C-alpha cells in the first residue's frame, strides 16, 4: 500500500503537472507535438538497483526538481511546526499539520534517501538538489506572507 502511495504522489507531482503544462502550451500554440524516444536499454547497475528495491533516479531533471522541491518545503514546514510546538506550546493547533507533513516525509523516504544516503549512480544529482532548494526557497518566501495567517 505504501508503494502505491509513493507512486501516486510521484506521478501527481511530475506527470500530471507536465501534462497539464504541455496541454496549455499546445492550446496557445507555443509548442508543437513532438515524440521523444526514451532509452529502454538496462545496464547491470539498473538491474541490481531493481533487485534491491531501490529507485533509479537517472531521469531528466525536469521530473526530479518539482518532487525534491516539494519534499524540501515539507521538511522545512515540519521543522517549523516542531519549533512552534516546542516554543509556543501550540500542539492542539499544529497536531494535524505536523502529522500530515510527517506522513508525506515518510512516504517519500526513497527520495530523501536518494538525496542524502545513496552514493551510487542512481542517486539524485547534487545539481537537482541545489536547483530544488532554490525553487523551494523562492516559493516559500513568495507564499509565506499570503499563508501565514491562514
Kindly report, residue by residue over 100-123, the tens digit of the pLDDT.
889 888 888 888 888 898 888 878
| pLDDT score recorded for residue 2 | 67
Grid coordinates representing 134 are 532554490
If we measure between CA atoms, which residue out of 6, 150, 133 comes closest to residue 73? 133
Residue 147 has pLDDT above 90, yes or no: no
Tens of pLDDT, residues 29-79 = 776 655 455 555 567 777 777 777 777 777 778 878 888 998 998 898 899
| pLDDT score recorded for residue 31 | 65
Residues 6+ apart with CB under 8 A from 77: 97, 101
| pLDDT score recorded for residue 93 | 83
Grid coordinates representing 79 are 521543522
Q: Quote the CA–CA distance of 138 and 147 in Å, as a whole number.
A: 14
| pLDDT score recorded for residue 146 | 84
Give the mean pLDDT of 10-28: 74
Give the mean pLDDT of 23-34: 70
Residue 21 has pLDDT above 90, yes or no: no
Task: Return the CA Rg of the chain.
Answer: 18
Q: Quote the CA–CA distance of 20 and 7 in Å, as a whole number.
A: 18
| pLDDT score recorded for residue 33 | 53
Give the mean pLDDT of 82-93: 88
Compare 132 and 23 and report the one with higher pLDDT: 132
**SS3 state of residue 108:** coil
| pLDDT score recorded for residue 127 | 92
Amino acid at each position: 500500500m505504501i508503494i502505491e502511495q509513493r507512486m501516486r504522489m510521484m506521478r501527481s507531482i511530475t506527470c500530471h503537472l507536465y501534462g497539464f503544462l504541455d496541454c496549455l502550451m499546445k492550446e496557445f500554440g507555443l509548442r508543437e507535438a513532438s515524440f521523444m524516444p526514451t532509452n529502454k536499454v538496462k545496464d547491470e547497475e539498473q538491474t541490481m538497483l531493481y533487485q534491491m528495491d531501490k529507485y533509479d533516479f537517472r531521469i531528466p531533471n525536469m521530473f526530479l526538481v518539482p518532487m525534491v522541491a516539494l519534499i524540501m518545503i515539507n521538511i522545512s514546514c515540519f521543522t517549523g511546526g516542531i519549533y512552534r510546538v516546542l516554543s509556543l506550546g501550540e500542539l492542539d493547533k499544529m497536531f494535524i499539520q505536523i502529522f500530515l507533513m510527517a506522513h508525506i516525509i515518510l512516504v517519500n523516504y526513497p527520495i530523501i534517501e536518494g538525496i542524502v544516503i545513496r552514493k551510487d549512480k542512481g542517486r539524485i544529482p547534487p545539481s537537482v538538489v541545489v536547483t530544488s532548494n532554490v525553487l523551494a526557497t523562492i516559493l516559500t518566501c513568495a507564499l509565506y506572507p499570503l499563508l501565514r495567517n491562514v
